[in-house]
Amino acid sequence: MTTRLIFIRHGQSTWNEARRWQGHADPSLSENGRRQARLLARRLSTWHIAHLYASDLARASETATILGASLGIQPAIDPDWRERGFGVLEGLTSEEIEERYPDVWASRLTGPIIGVSGAEEQADVIARSTAACARLLSRHPGETVAVVSHGGMILTTLVQLLRLPPSGHAILSVGGNTSISRVVVDHGHARLTGLNDAAHLELLED
């Protein structure tokens, strides 16, 4: 039985706008992020999505609320889909991280970032992702399910579903805000059918 999973990165937040790393920090969507979510909703209106899940962090749950209103679906909030906590990196820009924590910054070229004080352990992120995916597949076999989550969490989920090594974090890329990645799971075998698709942002809003 084939189940289709659609992973969506949240719309631009106020911290994305300022190019700050967020993790478990909880900034809201920017006005541009809300516009992105509306364009996303228009794009997905004909995709026959049966169920919609979202991280409990505001930038994801608000994106899902805008999408759900278009689809006629109330999003189910699941904290397991929240972003990895990045400890001391939260609130810093990429430039500040590269300057202050060069070893941490370099680690992202070979796998998930390591050596971050106060960060959530990657093993715990993998456990959350694995459990959340297992619930989706057991609850909704043969259906199309959308999840609004976060760049890092989606990346970890794709690496796990596709059974890639940890270096998969350095091979696949984190998509832009409201980018869509799609996976088809058939009898336990996952295939990537789309990665970081944000064509809807090219549309003109009424």
- Extended beta strands in the chain, E state: 2-9, 51-54, 76-77, 144-149, 180-186, 189-197
User: Which candidate in 150, 169, 189, 200 is catalytic?
Assistant: 150
- Tokens describing residue 188: 């336990």
User: CA of 39: how far to CAs of 58, 70, 78, 139, 177, in Å?
Assistant: 19, 10, 24, 29, 12
Is 10 designated active site? yes
**Residue 78 backbone dihedrals phi, psi, to 5 degrees:** -135, 110
Residue where the block lists tokens 């459990």:
131
User: Which candidate in 10, 51, 140, 169 is catalytic?
Assistant: 10
Cα–Cα dist 193/145, whole Å = 14
Give the three-class secondary structure for 59: helix
Is 150 designated active site? yes
- Extended beta strands in 96-170, E state: 144-149
Non-local (6+) Cβ contacts of 138 within 8 A are: none
Q: Which residues are catalytic?
A: 10, 150
